[in-house]
Structure 1
Amino acid sequence: MTTRPTAPVPSEPFAPTPGDVQAYLQRIGAERPDRADADALRDLQLRHLLTVPFENLSIHLGEDIVLDEKALLDKVIGAHRGGFCYEVNTAFAVLLRGLGYRVSLLQARVFGPDGKPGIPYDHMALLVETVDGEQWIADVGFGDHSHFPLRFDDHGDQEDPGGVFRLVVTDEGDVDVLRDGKPQYRMEVRTRRLADFTVGAWYHRTSPDSHFPRSLVCSLLTEEGRITLSDRKLITRTRGERDERILTGDDEVRGAYRDLFGIELDVLPVVRGGISDSNPR
């Protein structure tokens, strides 16, 4: 049986206004739920994944990545942008709290190609408690992942449009998230403050060992698959079929950001280091 996390640690004192919550719901095309229950959470996560892209454009636009709840709301709502895990999961947590859910931030380590977990605070996931006392792992910041939240205390197979997921408790009491039998990340079952993730965000913004500074990605779930813009390569997956093409000219790239992801850019992001085909995670 999974150890229940300790009581949620209060994050920086920020409460969204009713206007913030309504603007966020409009951003993702959702109605305000009557109850902060599991059904509403499933709907909110899916709508978020369909409208707010997983992207690392700020790194390549020379923009600061500030782990501040109000600043991240402004980015997602006002600027109509997305972000990587620390950004979009933090913003989603603010929305959920504003709707009556209890939300804790969990740090996780992403499994690499060698099968070993990465650095601490490599990833952020959310532990969400509904008004009915159910606990779910919500995650809108891992790119190609589960479409719906995963039940925290269910250690059997959890079928999802994104695959078959399973939560496995380690000998140390952490929880491995598996997709189709392959470990994705290892969560520490201890709630954290937003400021604790600063080191992870700094690492992924600056370290040559992180793929984020070396690659450019903007990715969004669609009703039929996924669209990803990796530098100038547009990758479209539709019903299991994959299509790739190279966009020509800045205007076409700028148009793809606008038309496919809803992002208006005056200046295009430029990868300063080597370019690699980024796998949206």
Structure 2
Amino acid sequence: MTTELNQLFRKRIGISETAKITFDMLKYILEKTAQTIPFENLSIITGNTCQITKENLIKKILLRNEGGLCYELNPILYFFLLENGFYVSLVRGVVYNHPAQKWSSTGRTHAAILLSHNEQTYLMDTGFGVNLPLIPVPLSGQIAKSANGEFRIIPVVSDAGDYILQVKLSNKDKDWRIGYIFDTWQPVKDISELNEIQKIISEHPDSSFNKQPLITKLTRNGYITLTDTSFTQYMNGNVGKEVVDNRTYKKFAKQYFSLSI
């Protein structure tokens, strides 16, 4: 389908304008998206947020070449998949707070994608920081493997949702850990619902995204993360970290993430 979003999304992640997007191509699409569009909270930190609409997401992510958080990154991918003939919906979930050993007190503030294909349902996510599956993960419980690690989904009975994503990142996790719980029974009916997520993430005292700037994205061999105090490179299991000041923070944002701060 030739639409502005379809053309711009393909251009942003570097794929052909004419290629037919098949199910088998989704792994490649997820990899390219994760390596191109940063996961970042700069609009929240600067107080420069806008309403979550299709048009505003196009402007922010595809025209200004910025990144975003889950409620921005997954909807733009959702619209792209929808326009390329896939059966998709957006769902909300609750991220697990590992230090506190409990579900996040910010509630259902994670947004992800469900995709139906050949009578099977899959979770897709390009908005979970460096914990991205990079491959559709079946709700059947089958382990999905990608360059970023192993991922599986288990059914649960809980007020917070009916499935849990478990993660085992390459060169990092020895055991399975909880990513988030999500609810397939209450899909997002209108994208405007995501404004509630943005409001909570922006204002909640326990939100991890309204304290300091965070920019991260995956690379072919690991990931890179930038804050206003440090720059971290994780490559092939090796971690390098350096202190940054305001000048190098802005320099690295441009150099590594193509973001002008």
Please state if 1:26 is matched with 2:18.
no
Structure ranking higher in strand proportion: 2
Q: CA deviation at 1:199?
A: 2.1
SS at match of 2:97: coil
Q: How does 1:33-72 map to 2 (within 5 A)?
A: 34-72=19-57
SS at match of 1:170: strand
Higher relative contact order (CA 8 A, sep 6+): 1
Q: For the structure 1 residues 249 and 205, does the alpha-carbon distance in structure 2 shift closer, same or farther, using more than 3 Å as the test?
A: closer
Q: Distance in 2 between matches of 1:19 and 1:214?
A: 35
Q: CA deviation at 1:192?
A: 1.3
Whether the 8 Å CA contact 1:38–1:134 is kept in 2: the answer is: no
Q: Distance in 1 between matches of 2:147 and 2:125?
A: 15
Q: CA deviation at 1:65?
A: 3.6
Q: Distance in 1 between matches of 2:246 and 2:45?
A: 18
Q: CA deviation at 1:154?
A: 2.8
Among 224, 228, 248, the residue aligned to 2:221: 224
Whether the 8 Å CA contact 1:86–1:141 is kept in 2: the answer is: yes
Whether the 8 Å CA contact 1:107–1:120 is kept in 2: the answer is: no
Q: Distance in 1 between matches of 2:139 and 2:205?
A: 37
Q: How does 1:103-252 map to 2 (within 5 A)?
A: 103-113=88-98, 114-118=100-104, 119-130=106-117, 132-172=118-158, 174-180=162-168, 181-190=176-185, 191-193=187-189, 194-250=191-247, 252=248
Q: Distance in 2 between matches of 1:178 and 1:115?
A: 15
Q: For the structure 1 residues 161 and 217, does the alpha-carbon distance in structure 2 shift closer, same or farther, using more than 3 Å as the test?
A: same
Q: Deviations along 1:156-209, whole A, 9 cap, x unmatched?
A: 322222222110100247000011311110010121132223222111111111
SS at match of 1:111: strand
Q: Distance in 2 between matches of 1:182 and 1:91?
A: 27
SS at match of 2:130: coil
* Structure 1: unaligned runs, 5 residues or longer: 1-15, 266-281
Q: CA deviation at 1:253?
A: 2.1
Q: Distance in 2 between matches of 1:153 and 1:247?
A: 42
Counterpart of 1:186 in structure 2: which amino acid? I
Counterpart of 2:252 in structure 1: which amino acid? A
Q: Distance in 2 between matches of 1:60 and 1:97?
A: 31
Q: For the structure 1 residues 106 and 175, does the alpha-carbon distance in structure 2 shift closer, same or farther, using more than 3 Å as the test?
A: same
Please state if 1:256 is matched with 2:241.
no
Q: Distance in 1 between matches of 2:121 and 2:17?
A: 20
Structure 1 vs Structure 2 CA RMSD = 1.9
Identity %: 23
* Structure 2: unaligned runs, 5 residues or longer: 169-175
Q: With structure 2 as the length reference, what TM-score do the two structures score?
A: 0.88
